[in-house]
Amino acid sequence: MEEKKTWDLISAASIPLVMTLGNSMLIPVLPIMEKKLSISPLQASMVITLYSLVAIILIPFAGLLSDRLGRKAIIIPSLIVAGVGGLLSSWAAFNVGHPYVLILIGRLLQGAGAAGAFPIVIPLVGDMFKRKSDVSSGLGIIETSNTLGKVLSPILGAFLASFLWYLPFASIPIFCLISVLLVVFFVKTPKKKEQPKEFSAYRKSIVRIFKKQGRWLYAIFLIGCIAMLVLFGVLFYLSSILEDRYAIDGIMKGMILAIPLAALCLTSYLSGKIIGENKKLMKWLAFSALLLLSVSIFWISFTRNFYFLIFLVCLSGIGIGASLPSLDSLITQEFDKEERGTITSIYSSARFVGVAAGPPIFALLIKFSQQTLFFTITGVCLVAVIVCLFAIRPADKSYGGKTRGLPSLFKKKEPAK
């Protein structure tokens, strides 16, 4: 990777780290919020769900604007908005007698900020590097940073809440400020050589992309959604049973939750390094990883042994961690800079759907039985495996050069002569 881009990449990687901390850090705090605010578990879950829902809605618009105005022009204001949201939530918790509604408003602001921050990092990395192998490696680091945030979140959230339950909210503006300064001073994006397309021409190009390449794009959107659904659902399930079944809470619970996330983090980094420009490797690595995820989820149905459970959850993390950089690279390397933000933002929006849907789906299915929950989720994972196998069909080891679009991704048989 180009040495001069090291600080650019570190600064860009700070964005998913900060955004992940700002959301996942609150998961171990939710039971405390229920008691402090006298709210139900469903009301507490809205602190996570509303953040994701507003991000789902706004991410495609943020991607479109980043294609036309520039990545930093969207990322920096979005980080500021996210910081203001955290400030509002912490202020309300400290000063207001019944702060629940104001906390939710703060979380809505955070979600709006997240929509214009983390999803824009993926096309930003695509803009930063010319060589596709550097793009793949960079995206692996971005996914690693994203996962590192998930590793640190339960530990840091539980630690901060042990002093003041709303301290995790108050830390968000500080993290956002650090990321803003890094982006301002170190991230240098290529200068635009041409004016952006007229909006009508731009819209036609996006529509044409989906007409020609919709099959594999929708496949990657679906797989990304399923991966996030399983990840956040399993974390929700593990967090619940650690407390209910094994009487483990506080910082110790956070440290145990961090174990499978650390496995995911390391796998993301290594897979980003391995795949390079090899699109067939990306496809088969994602397929194998999703198959591993399906098998590990299936076996969770039958185990109540604590250590074997943690081992299986770690395997699930490895499966998700190996698949995500491949998906990111497949979708980022295919498109020109002026369409990249919109396409990758729709992909990020699909991932946020999984984040929002995972915990409530797991909470609903576990009411029936552990087998019902994990048999169902195994079926969902197998859908991802089948879609990956049949819908993603890269034709070449590397599809650099002038070949683009449908022919570069799908082999088409010549008619018999």
Return the structure tokens found at 121. Answer: 């990092």
357 vs 300, more confident: 300
How much is the mean pLDDT over the chain?
84
pLDDT tens digits for range 261-289: 889 988 988 888 888 778 889 999 999 99
Residue type, 167: L
Domain ranges of the chain: 3-185+213-400
pLDDT recorded at residue 100: 92
Torsion of CA 275, 342, 228, 212, to 10 degrees: -70
pLDDT recorded at residue 410: 40
Rg (CA), the chain: 21
Q: Rounded to an integer, what distance in angstroms lies between the CA atom of residue 315 and that of residue 298? A: 11
Q: Rounded to an integer, what distance in angstroms lies between the CA atom of residue 8 and that of residue 14? A: 10
- The answer to whether the CB of 329 falls within 8 A of the CB of 139 is yes
**First-residue to last-residue Cα distance in the chain:** 47
pLDDT recorded at residue 33: 87
CATH number for the domain whose boundaries are 3-185+213-400: 1.20.1250.20
Greatest CA separation for the chain: 80
pLDDT score of 71 more than 90: no
pLDDT recorded at residue 412: 43
- The answer to whether the CB of 136 falls within 8 A of the CB of 77 is no
pLDDT recorded at residue 206: 74
Residue 326, C-beta contacts closer than 8 angstroms, at least 6 positions apart: 271, 275, 281, 282, 283, 285, 286, 289
pLDDT score of 25 more than 70: yes
Query: Quick one: which of 317, 258, 323, 351 has its CA closest to 28?
Result: 258
Q: Rounded to an integer, what distance in angstroms lies between the CA atom of residue 342 and that of residue 345? A: 5
Return the structure tokens found at 129. Answer: 């590097």
Rounded to two decimals, the pTM is 0.76
Q: Rounded to an integer, what distance in angstroms lies between the CA atom of residue 219 and that of residue 393? A: 11
- For 20, phi then psi, to 5°, come to -70, -45
pLDDT tens digits for range 156-206: 988 898 888 889 999 999 999 999 999 999 887 665 555 555 666 667 777
- The answer to whether the CB of 257 falls within 8 A of the CB of 248 is no
Percent of the chain with pLDDT over 70: 89
pLDDT recorded at residue 194: 53
3-state SS string for the chain: CCHHHHHHHHHHHHHHHHHHHHHHCCHHHHHHHHHHHCCCHHHHHHHHHHHHHHHHHHHHHHHHHHHHHCHHHHHHHHHHHHHHHHHHHHHHHHHCCCCHHHHHHHHHHHHHHHHCCHHHHHHHHHHHCCCHHHHHHHHHHHHHHHHHHHHHHHHHHHHHHCCCCCHHHHHHHHHHHHHHHHHHHHCCCCCCCCCCCCHHHHHHHHHHHHHHHHHHHHHHHHHHHHHHHHHHHHHHHHHHHHHHCCCCCHHHHHHHHHHHHHHHHHHHHHHHHHHCCCHHHHHHHHHHHHHHHHHHHHHHCCCCCHHHHHHHHHHHHHHHHHHHHHHHHHHHCCCCHHHHHHHHHHHHHHHHHHHHHHHHHHHHHCCCCHHHHHHHHHHHHHHHHHHHHHHCCCCCCCCCCCCCCHHHHCCCCCCCC
Q: How confident is the model at residue 396 (pLDDT cuts 50, 70, 90)?
A: very low
Q: How confident is the model at residue 304 (pLDDT cuts 50, 70, 90)?
A: confident
pLDDT recorded at residue 77: 95
Hunting for tokens 């594999």 — which residue is that?
Answer: 216
Helix 167-186 vs helix 6-24: angle between axes, to the nearest 10 degrees? 160
Q: Rounded to an integer, what distance in angstroms lies between the CA atom of residue 183 and that of residue 187? A: 5
Q: Rounded to an integer, what distance in angstroms lies between the CA atom of residue 228 and that of residue 393? A: 23
Q: How confident is the model at residue 290 (pLDDT cuts 50, 70, 90)?
A: very high
Query: Quick one: which of 189, 48, 271, 80 has its CA closest to 88?
Result: 80
Residue 207, C-beta contacts closer than 8 angstroms, at least 6 positions apart: none
pLDDT tens digits for range 229-254: 999 889 888 878 887 888 887 788 88
Q: Rounded to an integer, what distance in angstroms lies between the CA atom of residue 116 and that of residue 82? A: 9
pLDDT recorded at residue 198: 61
